[in-house]
Amino acid sequence: MFTPKRIIFEKGTLEYETGNEILTLFKGRDNIEIINLSNNNIKQHIPGEDLPSQYKEGKRTLVVGIKKNSKFQTCKPSAHYQLPLVSGCMGQCQYCYLNTMLGDKPFVKVYVNTEDILKQAGKYIEERLPDITIFEGAATSDPVPVEPYTHALQKAITFFGANPNARFRFVTKYTDIDSLLDLEHEGHTEIRFSINTLSVIKQYEYSTASLNKRIEASIKAVQAGYPMGYIIAPVFIYPNWKEEYHELLMDIKKKLPGDLKYPVTFEIISHRYTSIAKNRILEIFPESELPMNDEERKFKYGQFGYGKYVYPKESLANIKGFFMNEIDTLFDNKEVKYVI
Ligand code: SF4
């Protein structure tokens, strides 16, 4: 669970049940500052003299707000719309795609009016009938570590469970999913766990749940009847990478129950970066050892029009061959969605 260092309540949020619950849970604790905002200037309450300290302070700040703009962003190709339940994440993964998206002080923001957000989702579902509409709950966040006090996923899963034309999916590196296990999800929500080798987690994924805990949570999700999958990302090529990714897959194989209701899905994404991301990462983590030597990569224009540095063709083929072969050999009831 995300325990922030400061909580900033936007105007009006304490008139909502969720706002009050968050206040009740955290007020009176010595090391948590509570700020009631009278204007809209969130950032003036987050300290930090330079980018690394602003980043760290931002990551330890929870903002409680009201979602006003009812329009959802699209979310191609994995879903039709982003479901804006939470933005930001307590994690401090060096390679995180959010590093270039959330500004200098990347706070976590939750909303007290989940019902309004779901009502809007309902309108989008209606518009697309009789087709199914898919919503992604983790496009700009990891919603799981704040779930114990927002209950936003709980409400969303129940809402989508009751609608045959809706599907919901989210991905996490955290484990606070116990309150989701007994919900009437009807198989409409897919929970994916982002995992990696122990070396990668240790080196780059600060403030996230341990690998064991993530796998343990993934098994609980399967046992609760959810469609479940793993995102293995970013995949790095480093000494022993094949042995370590093999161990990771073996670990999952040993722990997954044999009688899966849905195939376990795999999404495998090799490491890539943009120049903007690289500069940002090196400003926030000057000691970073992320492999970002442009000469060792291939520059490629992506589907969204900007260029990325990806592994060269032979390395990508190596990654693809390795994972396809391993997953095929180790798992019976599985679906590899992509290896890129
Ligand atoms: Fe980013 Fe995910 Fe790490 Fe959070 S857990 S910092 S969203 S990569």
Residue 304's pLDDT band, with cuts at 50, 70 and 90, is low
Q: Is the CB of 91 under 6 A from ligand 1?
A: yes
Report how far ligand 1's centroid is from the alpha carbon of 215 (Å): 17
C-alpha–C-alpha distance, residues 45 and 164, integer Å: 44
Q: Is the CB of 96 under 6 A from ligand 1?
A: yes
Report how far ligand 1's centroid is from the alpha carbon of 167 (Å): 23
| 170-179 pLDDT tens trace | 999 999 999 9
C-alpha–C-alpha distance, residues 314 and 319, integer Å: 9
Contacts of residue 150, Cβ cutoff 8 Å, sequence gap at least 6 = 18, 22, 85, 86, 110, 111, 114, 143
Q: Is the CB of 191 under 6 A from ligand 1?
A: no
Q: Residue 151 in contact with residue 183, Cβ under 8 Å?
A: no
Q: Residue 87 in contact with residue 109, Cβ under 8 Å?
A: yes
C-alpha–C-alpha distance, residues 143 and 124, integer Å: 21
Entry pTM: 0.96
Domain 1-193 in CATH 3.40.50.300? The answer is no
User: How is residue 223 written in tokens?
Assistant: 């046992």
Q: Closest Cα to atom 1, ligand 1: which residue?
A: 96
| 105-141 pLDDT tens trace | 999 999 999 999 999 999 999 999 999 999 999 999 9
Q: Is the CB of 89 under 6 A from ligand 1?
A: yes
Percentage helix, strand, coil for the chain under 3-state DSSP, each rounded to 5: 40, 20, 40
| 8-67 pLDDT tens trace | 999 999 999 999 999 999 999 989 999 999 887 999 999 999 999 999 999 999 999 999
Count CB-CB contacts under 10 A for residue 181.
Answer: 14
Q: Is the CB of 98 under 6 A from ligand 1?
A: yes
Q: Closest Cα to atom 4, ligand 1: which residue?
A: 91
User: How is residue 156 written in tokens?
Assistant: 């969303």
Q: Closest Cα to atom 6, ligand 1: which residue?
A: 91
| 47-62 pLDDT tens trace | 999 999 999 999 999 9
| 67-91 pLDDT tens trace | 997 799 999 888 999 999 999 999 9
